[in-house]
A and B are shown apart, each in its own frame.
Chain A
């Protein structure tokens, strides 16, 4: 299956600062890259996704960028708030979706 590497595994930022999480994938044919947020004790939920025909997508404070040449994509969260604290997973498909190992984001007040 797809090999998806995600970094960092943990990330702490001050409230109001930006957070960036990066993922790399191995299959150049992959064309759909979702990001999921999982709050403590809850289910993973899609927060944003990007397809390979665009390089960037924004939704309010969240953005995702894609570099197909380098085979990596990143999640950017601006003006972080305490409710952004969660585990974030990237995913990339080859056959079925393969998830990264997750990033525990902590937003410090």
Chain B
């Protein structure tokens, strides 16, 4: 298996632009997680899905952020409009079962820079 796949690996955009990050989880994994990592706030869970259904989006910072999972093999995290404070590394992760009992496998991350 190729593991969790994320694209793009790097994104540089200007403030106000829409940004879409993409993730393909490991095949057969029922759970998908989106994290944001910054020096100041560490690794923050933004949202997670179970069987393509959003379960907890309490970590989403504000309405500018949205996430979808149209099918078991694809998810997107969208920021519209983007702001400089959104600059961070965004990780997608997946697990076979609930993370309270199972390993999460992380993708390589997308490094987002908003100018």
Interface residues of A (CB under 8 A from B): 30-32, 34, 42-46, 49, 89, 93-99, 101-102
- Cα(A34)–Cα(B91), bound, Å: 18
Asked whether, in the complex, the Cβ of A101 is within 8 Å of the Cβ of B42, the reply is: yes
Count how many pairs of residues, one from A and one from B, have CB atoms less than 8 Å apart in the complex. Answer: 46
**Main SS of chain A's interface residues?**
strand
Interface residues of B (CB under 8 A from A): 33, 42-43, 45, 48, 56, 91, 98-109
- Cα(A89)–Cα(B109), bound, Å: 17
Asked whether, in the complex, the Cβ of A95 is within 8 Å of the Cβ of B100, the reply is: yes
Given A93-B99, A95-B100, A96-B48, CB of A45 within 8 Å of CB of B42: no
Interface centre among B43, B107, B109 (most CB of A within 10 A): B43
- Cα(A32)–Cα(B101), bound, Å: 6
Question: B69 CB to closest chain A CB, in angstroms?
Answer: 16
Asked whether, in the complex, the Cβ of B42 is within 8 Å of the Cβ of A43, the reply is: no
